[in-house]
């Protein structure tokens, strides 16, 4: 019997991880999947088009014309399910979910209220504390005096702390503030994410109003974990945890990680999910404190670049989300591993592609 065709749209197809994700999307046992891709790059520069049936250039997710452009593609191609690949797109698409569903297109993310809360990382931290979930200390500076006072409240100079944007992705703007900062070592380093409080104050001395776009939080010096969770209407179906090691993730996508089954990380991720209303997929990022306790780093509701790591356990989250979108329910027999006979390590190993140049430019 011929499989029914499902048209799936994926954003951010110019990312280096797109080919692997597209392969997972198309490997559905019950459907023949047609892939429609889009990206904010100029059309001639979207390498992901070589892996899609159709591909479009679109505005960035925060642009005023983004939603109308995506709606046009959905109508033109008959898209039935859309996987958002960036935080801004996830926010915009979830806000306009009703307009897409009126066209027969599901958005593979949580409700707008949940997405917007996770988008503002400081607000998220306040919310989980209200729900009784313990995490590290966080502060929201608005002046240089605040910056100084909150730094000391976080234990500086004896202890490092983190400054990061309230909203953002890809670790842009993330820095560890340390009294052990060495300007020359920073100058010679191939990649640096550390600075001192003095350098930080100097940076914001003429941009004090920009401080409110950032928040300060306790530094978690222990291992960092990402819990990839398949969920329907806040019900957890399976969870895959990876240990990213103690070094902060400042150069995504993840290159190396170990699949682990730490029960305390699993339990902590469950508490975070219980505190909000998630759907389809959520990634809970957790770190270990100096006392080996767990604290929240952030929560991602868009499709994560390292989601193919679940394939190591024989799980294809995209297959399950397509089934959920098409039938209204998750498969009843999705495996949920609390251990595994093999100790698996994820490694990213790049290939290459030749594409014809646009000679009209």
DSSP 75-116: HHHT--EEE--SHHHHHHHHHTHHHHHTTT-EESS--HHHHH
The span from the CA of 18 to the CA of 86, in Å, is: 13
| pLDDT on residue 170 | 59
- Which element (helix H / strand E) includes 159? none
Query: Contact, 205 vs 145, CB < 8 A?
Result: no
Count of residues making up the chain: 361
Do the domains at 5-108 and 116-121+221-347 have one common CATH topology? no
Query: Contact, 92 vs 82, CB < 8 A?
Result: no
Domain range 116-121+221-347, CATH class: alpha beta
Q: Where are the strands (E) in the chain, listed by range?
A: 5-10, 32-39, 54-57, 81-83, 106-107, 138-139, 161-165, 175-177, 194-195, 214-218, 224-232, 235-245, 256-260, 280-288, 294-300, 345-347
Query: Contact, 287 vs 222, CB < 8 A?
Result: yes
| pLDDT on residue 358 | 66
Provide the CATH number for the domain formed by 5-108 in this structure.
3.40.50.20
pLDDT digit string, tens, across residues 322-355: 999 999 999 999 999 999 999 999 998 888 888 7
- Which element (helix H / strand E) includes 329? none
| pLDDT on residue 186 | 83
Query: Contact, 39 vs 47, CB < 8 A?
Result: no
Question: Average pLDDT by consecutive 10-residue portion of the chain (361 residues)?
Answer: 94 94 96 98 93 97 97 98 97 98 98 97 96 94 97 97 86 89 84 91 95 96 97 97 90 89 98 97 96 96 92 97 98 96 91 73 51
Q: 135: closest CA among 12, 287, 284?
A: 287
Strand-pair partners of 295: 287
| pLDDT on residue 169 | 66
Delimit the domains of the chain by residue range: 5-108, 116-121+221-347, 143-218
Q: 85: closest CA among 17, 7, 165?
A: 17
| pLDDT on residue 187 | 83
| pLDDT on residue 50 | 93
Q: 117: closest CA among 87, 162, 85, 82?
A: 87
| pLDDT on residue 251 | 76
Query: Contact, 109 vs 301, CB < 8 A?
Result: yes
Angle at 179 between CA 175 and CA 181, to 5 degrees: 65
CA torsion, ordered 105, 109, 112, 114, to nearest 10 deg: 160
């Amino acid at each position: 019997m011929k499989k029914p065709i499902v048209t799936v749209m994926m954003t951010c197809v110019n990312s280096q991880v797109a080919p692997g994700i597209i392969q997972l999307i198309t490997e559905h046992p019950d459907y023949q999947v047609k892939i429609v891709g889009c990206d904010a790059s100029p059309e001639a520069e979207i390498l992901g088009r070589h892996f899609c049936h159709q591909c479009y250039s679109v505005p960035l997710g925060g642009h005023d014309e983004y939603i109308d452009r995506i709606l046009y593609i959905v109508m033109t191609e008959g898209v039935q399910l859309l996987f958002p690949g960036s935080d801004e797109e996830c926010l915009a698409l979830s806000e306009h979910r009703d307009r897409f569903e009126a066209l027969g297109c599901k958005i593979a993310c949580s409700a707008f209220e949940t997405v917007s809360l996770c988008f503002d990382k400081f607000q998220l931290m306040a919310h989980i504390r209200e729900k009784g979930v313990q995490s590290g200390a966080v502060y929201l500076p608005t002046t240089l005096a605040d910056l100084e006072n909150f730094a000391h409240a976080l234990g500086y100079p004896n202890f490092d702390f983190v400054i990061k944007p309230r909203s953002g992705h890809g670790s842009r703007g993330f820095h560890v503030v340390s009294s052990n900062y060495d300007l020359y070592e920073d100058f010679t380093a191939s990649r640096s994410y550390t600075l001192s409080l003095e350098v930080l104050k100097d940076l914001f001395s003429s941009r004090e109003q920009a401080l409110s776009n950032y928040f300060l939080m306790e530094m978690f010096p222990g291992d960092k974990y990402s819990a990839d969770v398949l969920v329907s209407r806040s019900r957890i179906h399976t969870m895959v945890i990876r240990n990213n090691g103690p070094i902060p993730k400042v150069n995504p996508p993840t290159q190396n990680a170990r699949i682990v089954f730490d029960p305390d990380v699993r339990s902590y991720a469950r508490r975070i999910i219980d505190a909000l209303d998630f759907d389809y997929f959520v990634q809970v990022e957790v770190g270990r404190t100096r006392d080996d306790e767990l604290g929240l780093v952030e929560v991602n509701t868009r499709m994560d670049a390292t989601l193919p790591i679940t394939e190591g356990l024989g799980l294809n989250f995209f297959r399950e989300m397509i089934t959920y979108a098409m039938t209204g329910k998750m498969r009843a027999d999705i495996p949920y591993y609390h251990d595994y006979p093999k100790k698996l390590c994820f490694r990213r190993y790049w290939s290459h592609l030749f594409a014809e140049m646009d000679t009209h430019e």
